């Protein structure tokens, strides 16, 4: 069976998911665990940097360095922080958080403008990653891995179980031959919408190649309309922002009033239902 890197064509698919209340709790737990592991790696890296600046061979310092280096392993970190042993937490979510930390350092070394890894803060958005695993003897398909499509409207994900989905393309589900699912990202945005992003790979193209016409066309982007082509075609500018500008300003004023009211009454914004309801409208 080929790995993701060995397959020639790659494709990204993002679909909307509709988890139950219990599944939302599991997504929250995994998102928090993923953020904690990443932040712990950042904290360990900072402390190791400080300790390595001490040139003297002090036994206490050397012992601390060895302890921190051991804790950079997902299993050792889980042993140190027992709450990471929660059965609801996907072990691959912890492994991916550590991998993302190392990727951030690699990006910094290649492009210094990227900056060193920084702590991830809490937010209304949730996010964690897992991976699809396959039996060694079988050919990888979209319906026989640990992450698999049951049909066009349902998908199975480790720890979450069966999820109702929207946006899966039938042409992808009907593909013949090997199609592998790689990294899977489960996320929630600020508007309380849940999504599932999948990395797909295959030796067969996902999008048919278009025939060459040997013609050239010029495109002009301007303010009067969205674009004007050299053959005379124009596409109008929908001007979404101008359309909703008044409604958005009114909604933002309402949100600001509810924020001031909650602070005046010394209520947490996370627990203020009216504020959260209005925040979703603005988002």
Q: What is the pLDDT of residue 215?
A: 84
Average pLDDT over residues 111-121: 83
pLDDT at residue 55 is higher than 80: no
Residues 256, 263: contact at Cβ < 8 Å? no
What pLDDT band is residue 130 in, cutting at 50, 70 and 90? Answer: very high
- At residue 187, the pLDDT reads 95
DSSP strand pairing (154-157 vs 161-166): antiparallel
Longest Cα–Cα distance in the chain? 78
What value does the mean pLDDT take over residues 168-189? Answer: 88
- 206: Cβ contacts below 8 Å, ≥ 6 apart: 9, 11, 172, 200
15-19, 72-76, 127-131, 252-256: least confidently modelled range: 72-76
Taking 90 as the threshold, does the pLDDT of residue 92 lie above it? yes
For residues 236 and 161, give the distance between their C-alpha atoms in angstroms, rounded to a whole number. Answer: 44
Q: Indicate the angle between helix axes 21-52 and 91-110, nearest 10 degrees.
A: 50
Q: Of 136, 135, 145, nearest to 180 (Cα)?
A: 145
pLDDT confidence bin for 35, thresholds 50/70/90: very high
39, with CB counted inside 10 A (0-12, 13-18, 19+), is middle
Nearest-angstrom CA–CA distance, 132 and 193: 23
User: Cα–Cα distances in Å, from 40 out to 45, 131, 217, 249?
Assistant: 8, 22, 53, 40
pLDDT at residue 17 tops 90: yes
Mean pLDDT of 212-216: 85
Q: What percent of the chain has pLDDT over 70?
A: 100
Q: What percent helix, strand, coil does the chain show, rounded to 5?
A: 45, 20, 35
**What mean pLDDT is reported for the chain?**
89
Look at residue 199 and give its three-state secondary structure: strand
Q: What is the pLDDT of residues 215-240, one digit of tens each?
A: 888 988 887 788 888 888 888 888 88
Sheet containing 227-229: order of strands: 219-221, 227-229, 234-235
Tokens (6 digits) for 38: 């990443």
User: Residue 273's pLDDT band (boundaries 50, 70, 90)?
Assistant: confident
């Amino acid at each position: 069976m080929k790995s993701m890197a060995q397959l020639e064509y790659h494709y990204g698919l993002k679909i909307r998911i509709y988890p139950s209340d219990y599944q939302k709790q599991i997504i929250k737990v995994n998102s928090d665990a993923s953020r904690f592991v990443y932040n712990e790696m950042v904290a360990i890296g900072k402390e190791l940097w400080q300790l390595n600046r001490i040139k003297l061979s002090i036994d206490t310092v050397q012992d601390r360095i060895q302890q921190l280096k051991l804790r950079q392993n997902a299993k050792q970190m889980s042993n140190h922080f027992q709450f990471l042993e929660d059965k609801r937490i996907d072990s691959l979510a912890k492994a991916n958080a550590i991998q993302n930390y190392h990727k951030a350092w690699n990006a910094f070394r290649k492009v210094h403008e990227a900056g060193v890894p920084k702590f991830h803060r809490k937010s209304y958005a949730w996010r964690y990653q897992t991976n699809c695993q396959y039996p060694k003897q079988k050919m990888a398909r979209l319906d026989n891995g640990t992450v698999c499509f049951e049909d066009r409207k349902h998908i199975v994900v480790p720890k979450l179980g069966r999820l109702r989905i929207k946006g899966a393309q039938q042409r992808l589900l009907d593909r013949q031959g090997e199609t592998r699912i790689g990294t899977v990202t489960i996320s929630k945005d600020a508007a309380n919408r849940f999504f599932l992003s999948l990395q797909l790979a295959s030796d067969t193209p996902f999008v048919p190649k278009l025939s060459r016409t040997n013609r050239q066309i010029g495109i002009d982007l301007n303010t009067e309309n969205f674009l004007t082509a050299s053959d005379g075609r124009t596409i109008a500018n929908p001007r979404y922002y101008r359309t909703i500008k008044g409604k958005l300003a009114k909604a933002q004023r309402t949100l600001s009033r509810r924020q001031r009211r909650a602070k005046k009454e010394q209520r947490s914004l996370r627990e203020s239902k009216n504020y959260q309801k209005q925040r979703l409208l603005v988002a």
